[in-house]
Amino acid sequence: MTAQVLSPSIREAQVFPNISWQQFEGIDRAFDSIPGVKLRYLDHSLEIMPVSEDHEDFKTILRMLLEAYMRARQIRFYGRGGPSLGDETLGARSEPDESYNLGVRKPYPDLVLEVIITSGGVDKLEGYRRMGVAEVWFWEDGVLNLYGLDAEGSNYQPLTASKLLPQLPLDIYCRYVTYHDQFDAVDEFLRAIE
């Protein structure tokens, strides 16, 4: 497993079952020196995902548009980026593409953005549920899917609009995610929502 896992040319997500938390931490340290991969852990399963140029481009424009919207609407936010979230007591750890606290900074984000280029077998929503993340947005194949944690914190439900940002026009937001130029996309998005 080690030679295959540590190969810097991973092209699709790979899942490895029966990995202890201690083994996961060792693998995580080994990947510190290998760019272009993300790790996710849930209940003894390790997912190793490649990060492509397309992935990074979509992640960046999703972030740029969302932050421009929140600034334009005077919504206080704290960008958390994509640090590792979770721990052994939760049996889960994830590296979100982008994450935010709204209003005040908290131990776990309120909102997570995930770009899906290749998908694996680890349940992303379950890990975030254990962390109490209120909303998770997935961008995949040109479609944005939103999921909100129910009042009991036990399940995610599909959303047609964000509960955290109910005034955000998702149709306009999505239109500019695939715009030909990032700089122009943000400028035109801001004009479109005035």
pLDDT at 70: 98
Indicate if 90 and 71 belong to the same structural domain: yes
- Look at residues 17, 33, 50 and tell me which one is the last residue of a structural domain: 50
pLDDT one-digit tens code per residue, 70-118: 999 999 999 987 667 888 888 888 889 999 999 999 999 999 999 887 6
Average pLDDT over residues 53-66: 91
Residue 168 belongs to a domain with what CATH number?
Answer: 3.90.1570
pLDDT at 68: 98
pLDDT at 149: 96
Domain count, the chain: 2
Is 129 a residue whose pLDDT tops 90?
yes
Higher pLDDT, 30 or 132: 132
What are residue 153's phi and psi, to 5 degrees?
75, 20
pLDDT one-digit tens code per residue, 27-55: 888 877 666 777 878 888 888 777 778 87
Beta bridge partners of 50: 37
pLDDT at 183: 96
Indicate if 161 and 95 belong to the same structural domain: yes
Q: In what order do the strands lie in the sheet with 37-42?
A: 14-16, 45-50, 37-42, 92-94, 85-87
Q: Kindly report the average pLDDT of the chain as a whole number.
A: 87
Indicate if 129 and 180 belong to the same structural domain: yes
pLDDT at 81: 74
Is 122 a residue whose pLDDT tops 80?
no
pLDDT at 60: 94
End-to-end alpha-carbon separation of the chain, Å?
A: 53
Range of the domain at 92: 53-192
Indicate if 67 and 102 belong to the same structural domain: yes
Average pLDDT over residues 164-180: 96
Is 132 a residue whose pLDDT tops 80?
yes
Indicate if 27 and 106 belong to the same structural domain: no
Average pLDDT over residues 134-154: 94
H-only helix segments in 52-194:
53-72, 124-131, 170-177, 182-192
Indicate if 152 and 107 belong to the same structural domain: yes
Q: Is the dihedral of CA 67, 71, 74, 80 positive or negative?
A: positive
Average pLDDT over residues 137-151: 94
Lowest mean pLDDT among 4-13, 145-154, 157-166, 167-176: 4-13
Indicate if 28 and 45 belong to the same structural domain: yes
Indicate if 80 and 39 belong to the same structural domain: no
pLDDT at 10: 52
Indicate if 105 and 182 belong to the same structural domain: yes
Indicate if 123 and 151 belong to the same structural domain: yes
Indicate if 65 and 119 belong to the same structural domain: yes
Indicate if 33 and 60 belong to the same structural domain: no
